[in-house]
Amino acid sequence: MSVKRGDKAFNGEWEKISAFVFEITQDMTMEFQGKSCNIADSEGNVVEELGEGHGRVSRDVLAGYRCYVMRAWIKFERKLE
């Protein structure tokens, strides 16, 4: 079985990303470090813009959000219900 871009990150492992859009399907905590991560809500409104000046950060992202990532390390942790 081949591993697709984003699979490692969604499984809680650090993944190096050149450029990718993560479609968030459930509430999660994202950890990010890198060049750029724009977080948009389900209507496309920018929630937050992260970059190199932020260092390594954690953010809660909700179902329906999108994370536009460029040149970064990223991972996601599913929230326990």
The yes-or-no verdict on residue 1 having pLDDT over 70 is no
Specify the residue for token string 């750029």.
Answer: 36
* CA atoms of 2 and 69, how far apart (whole Å): 22
* CA atoms of 24 and 26, how far apart (whole Å): 6
Domain boundaries, the chain: 18-78
The yes-or-no verdict on residue 2 having pLDDT over 80 is no
* CA atoms of 81 and 73, how far apart (whole Å): 26
Which residues lie across from 61 on neighbouring strands? 28
Beta-carbon contacts of residue 14 (< 8 Å; ≥ 6 apart): 8, 31, 73, 74, 75
For residue 81, what pLDDT is reported?
Answer: 64
* CA atoms of 67 and 20, how far apart (whole Å): 8
The model's pTM: 0.90
For residue range 23-80, list pLDDT tens digits in order.
999 999 999 999 999 999 999 999 999 999 999 999 999 999 999 999 999 999 998 7
